[in-house]
Amino acid sequence: MAMGFFSLALFLFLSVDSDSGYTSASAAAASGKEGVEITYGSAMKLMHEKTKVRLHSHDVPYGSGSGQQSVTGFPGVVDSNSYWIVKPVPGTTAKQGDAVMSGATIRLQHMKTRKWLHSHLHASPISGNLEVSCFGDDSNSDTGDHWKLIIEGSGKTWKQDQRVRLQHIDTSGYLHSHDKKYQRIAGGQQEVCGIREKRADNVWLAAEGVYLPVDESSSSK
């Protein structure tokens, strides 16, 4: 069991870090399955439905607001700075391999920098909405990193290519993007921010990624 987990972890690291192009969609097609379930521990890219950019971060701080690590919408598909690991919030029973349910409060950890997708009341640089940043590290996380998963439609478990919204717990802002682009901190990349209104511009889909299989032992209890 230990060797199996180590092999899976090594595969996850190599696949994500090298931009090998492995996607759960190809794995699902090869096995004849559809609708890959998102599990805690999976590393994935989130695609903005309306503009098709990927949720992205890099070790570049905002020049205003909090000064924390910036979060943007990246137009390309192949970039390792667009991978996020799905994690439960502290104090819950959810663990690696469990399916993520609609209504769950989750955290997204940036794969490269280990910081958490975060929001607060600082104004976003371009539109003046709620700033979305990356903050903390493996041992430093707070409620500003907590997001509620809301599945659009009747689904109960989060699946790849399913329309979802992420609502920030502390501010009630929905994770949002639009066609407003940066000129300096990330030239050509879109602003990502939070807004409190439910709009078409705050729908996202789980796209490319390495998805850990559902832990059947926990789901059968």
Q: What is the pLDDT of residues 157-178, one digit of tens each?
A: 999 999 999 999 999 999 999 9
Q: What is the pLDDT of residue 218?
A: 57
With 70 as the cut, is the pLDDT of residue 3 above it?
A: no
Higher pLDDT: 32 or 206? It is 206
- Residue 132: closest CA among 88, 177, 84: 177
Share of the chain above pLDDT 70, in %: 81
Top pLDDT among 195 and 34 is at: 195
Give the residue-averaged pLDDT of 34-48.
93
Mean predicted confidence (pLDDT) in 132-160? 96
In whole numbers, what is the pLDDT of the chain averaged over residues? 85
Q: What is the Cα–Cα distance from 168 to 165, expressed in whole angstroms?
A: 10
What the block records as the tokens of 117 is 């997708």
Distance, CA of 104 to CA of 92 (rounded, Å): 10
pLDDT at 8: 42
Q: At 31, is the secondary structure helix, strand, or coil? A: helix
Q: How far is it between the farthest Cα atoms of the chain?
A: 52
Q: Which CATH architecture has domain 39-210?
A: Trefoil (2.80)
Percent of the chain with pLDDT over 90: 71
pTM, two decimal places: 0.85
Beta-sheet strands, E only, within 66-203: 69-74, 84-88, 105-110, 116-123, 130-135, 147-151, 164-168, 174-181, 190-195
DSSP 8-class letter at 28: H
Neighbours of 182 (CB within 10 A): 16
pLDDT tier at 183 (50, 70, 90 boundaries)? confident
